[in-house]
A = this chain, B = another copy of it.
């Protein structure tokens, strides 16, 4: 039995950085520090932080005893940012630097009088944060393009975790409509690299494990890709989910994981496969 773990599996640069920031803050043992939403889509990490006194809250509204708020990788809308500051709370900004860049470009395009188009999922927190920088006539586009709303000068930013094909498809469809198009390709390379490596891996294995939250967009995207290439693909959150029967008759095993999956979970998955397989 041979187990291959994707090198790009697990935490990306931005998630690693955010967790480092949160745990560094936790060490200071100050009171009244909260994360706005779970720091990452991983319950174990969230629990570890709780143990150190840092709890997630969904909203600052009605909450008492707040001293500082940690912003997670996805970022937050500018009006929420300003509201937090106006309450006198400190902001500990763990927004992914690549998301920050996308926010900056959305703002820049708006200031240059482009109609800002954000390619991504309307309800994703990152997209909501980008929207707040993109101005009133901006549009979020996922799969259907609202051609009647498109202006002749459009500026494009992309949710950092989108696949490049989404941008290609959009461009080929709008190029005949808008006469001037400015694109900041804000897609983060780590997602692309992870998808690319996972694609290669899924093609050569008998069984593929995709490790990460069921509510994590990028993990779900990985699982979807693997399913199209390897019939025996399992999207799991913890090692305990793996059944001995799954491994029957499999020689080559692949493991990949989403951006919010800690290394130690990936290692435990590998260990459990080694223990119960073969």
Which residues on A are within 8 Å of B, measured CB to CB? 164, 167-168, 171-172, 175-176, 178-185, 192
Residue pairs across A and B with Cβ atoms less than 8 A apart, 24 shown, are A164-B176, A167-B175, A168-B171, A168-B172, A171-B171, A171-B172, A171-B175, A172-B172, A175-B183, A175-B185, A176-B185, A176-B192, A178-B185, A179-B184, A180-B182, A180-B183, A180-B184, A180-B185, A181-B181, A181-B182, A181-B183, A181-B185, A182-B182, A183-B183
**Beta-carbon nearest neighbor of A158 in chain B:** B175
Residues of B within 8 A of A181 (CB): 181-183, 185
Q: How far is the CA of A172 from the CA of B174 in the complex (A)?
A: 12
Q: How far is the CA of A115 from the CA of B92 in the complex (A)?
A: 38
**Beta-carbon nearest neighbor of A156 in chain B:** B181
Residues of B within 8 A of A184 (CB): 179-180
Q: How far is the CA of A167 from the CA of B184 in the complex (A)?
A: 18
A30 to chain B, nearest CB (A): 39
**Contacts A164-B175, A181-B182 supplied; 5 other A-B pairs, CB < 8 Å:** A168-B171, A176-B192, A179-B185, A181-B183, A182-B182
Residues of B within 8 A of A168 (CB): 171-172, 175
A88 to chain B, nearest CB (A): 38
A145 to chain B, nearest CB (A): 14
Residues of B within 8 A of A192 (CB): 176
Residues of B within 8 A of A171 (CB): 168, 171-172, 175
Q: How far is the CA of A175 from the CA of B183 in the complex (A)?
A: 9
Residues of B within 8 A of A179 (CB): 184-185
Residues of B within 8 A of A183 (CB): 175, 180-183
A113 to chain B, nearest CB (A): 14
A107 to chain B, nearest CB (A): 15
A278 to chain B, nearest CB (A): 40
A119 to chain B, nearest CB (A): 12
A263 to chain B, nearest CB (A): 28
A184 to chain B, nearest CB (A): 6
A31 to chain B, nearest CB (A): 42
Q: How far is the CA of A164 from the CA of B172 in the complex (A)?
A: 9
